[in-house]
Chain A
């Protein structure tokens, strides 16, 4: 397989950040009340991820190893601020819906995790593809979750009514408990059909999902093996 296609496959399926690695759970649970929000959040994160992978990969020989984490945090925070201002200017409705979760992309484990695990060891072009793959994987997982929640909780999909008029939507699914339940069911279904999450493996080697400071443990490539 072409190594660029392999990166995309890796991010979308093999190491899907939400469904397999169980990273970035905060935004997945929080903004998934409507499918449109899920896509908006997914694409915003993807933009930050691609750019941060690119910048960090370009600077990988310049940044001293000892101060790499603060450096990455500043790079990511700058990119997030730019993204936030762009969303505020051009998509004000989305900005109001996502609110505080846009600046919180800074502490999204996926972004710093990929910087540590991939971008600081590989050439820029491959790192960009890694960002695209992970970004698409994150967006798909987020869209799936938010679509399920929207259909069950509001009876609509992307704003269009899908449940027959006689069926009452279950309001709890757009409330906080519904988020936990839907993710639990998705992972249980995965387990039942034999797709293993790798969270336990990562946790055993000392990572709790806070990737910035557990570089090797969260390393999707080699550290976890």
Chain B
């Protein structure tokens, strides 16, 4: 039990996927300047990463490993993720148009979010079982959401400040990210 909680906390805070492992940087630094959009994207990412971790863990254990074709994992996982995003999109469009409208444009972008593939591959690398994979995926996705929502709120504030000209745009965002990363390094001291 303790180790399962540790996996979630480790994924969300200690090894934060964005600030520590640099996965999903593209969307982290990209368009998500508004809190609301960031939170919506975060919700979609939590769902997709959790389900992708579960499906890829099952596929790896019951299909790839028994046939000895573990080296196919990259190809299989990326296809699973792409298909999953498609299915989620179709399902939401049909069943809950409101949520679909809110997430609409962000959903397909998740396919190439390297965090999704990154988590699936890390789970295999760490020899996680099914439950551990799902929890690690969930924890990582929560960490991602936390990072993008925090950065979005910092960015709305930066927007009103008088920034030196060369630092405007990407540099100041990267510097904010650096400071956030310093703060998150503090979680490495968490002990149980």
> Could you list which residues of chain A lie within 8 angstroms of chain B, going by C-beta atoms?
22-23, 25-27, 29-30, 69-70, 73-74, 77-78, 80-81, 84-85, 99-100, 103-104, 106-109, 112, 172, 175-181, 183-185, 187-189, 191-192, 197, 199-200, 203, 207-214
Contact = CB atoms under 8 A, between A and B. Distances in A.
Interface of B: 19-27, 29-32, 71-75, 78-79, 82, 108-109, 111-114, 117-118, 121-122, 125, 165-172, 174-175, 177-179, 181-182, 185
Contacts of B174: 180-181, 183-184, 187
A85 to B, nearest CB: 6
Max chain B Cβ within 10 angstroms of own Cβ: one of A27, A70, A180, A199: A180
A100 B175 contact: no
12 contacts: A73-B79, A77-B74, A85-B71, A177-B181, A177-B185, A179-B22, A184-B178, A191-B165, A197-B170, A210-B113, A213-B109, A214-B109
A84 B74 contact: yes
A112 B114 CA distance: 13
Contacts of B170: 22, 184, 187, 197, 199
A51 B149 CA distance: 38
Contact of A74 (B21, B30, B75, B111): B75
B22 A26 contact: yes
A22 B24 CA distance: 13
Contacts of A211: 112
A175 B185 contact: yes
A208 B27 contact: yes
Given A26-B24, A109-B112, A180-B178, 19 more contacts: A25-B22, A25-B25, A26-B26, A70-B79, A84-B74, A103-B117, A104-B121, A172-B182, A176-B19, A176-B181, A177-B179, A179-B22, A184-B174, A187-B169, A188-B166, A208-B30, A208-B32, A210-B109, A213-B108
A203 to B, nearest CB: 5
A54 to B, nearest CB: 19
A73 B75 CA distance: 8
B75 A81 contact: yes
Nearest to A81: B74
A100 B22 CA distance: 12
Contacts of B32: 208
B109 A208 contact: yes
Contacts of A210: 26-27, 30, 109, 111-113
A203 B30 CA distance: 7
B76 to A, nearest CB: 9
The 8 closest A-B pairs by CB, nearest first: A208-B30, A209-B26, A184-B174, A180-B178, A192-B166, A30-B22, A188-B171, A191-B166
Contacts, number: 147
A30 to B, nearest CB: 4
A77 B121 CA distance: 13
Nearest to A172: B182
A182 B150 CA distance: 21
Given A70-B82, A100-B121, A200-B169, A180 B175 contact: yes
Nearest to A29: B22
B112 A107 contact: yes
B182 to A, nearest CB: 5
Contacts of B30: 203, 207-210
Given A177-B181, A181-B174, A211-B112, A191 B78 contact: no
Contact of B171 (A25, A176, A187, A212): A187
A185 B171 contact: yes
Interface centre among B21, B24, B170 (most CB of A within 10 A): B170
Contacts of A112: 112
A59 B120 CA distance: 30
Contacts of B125: 99-100
Contacts of A70: 79, 82
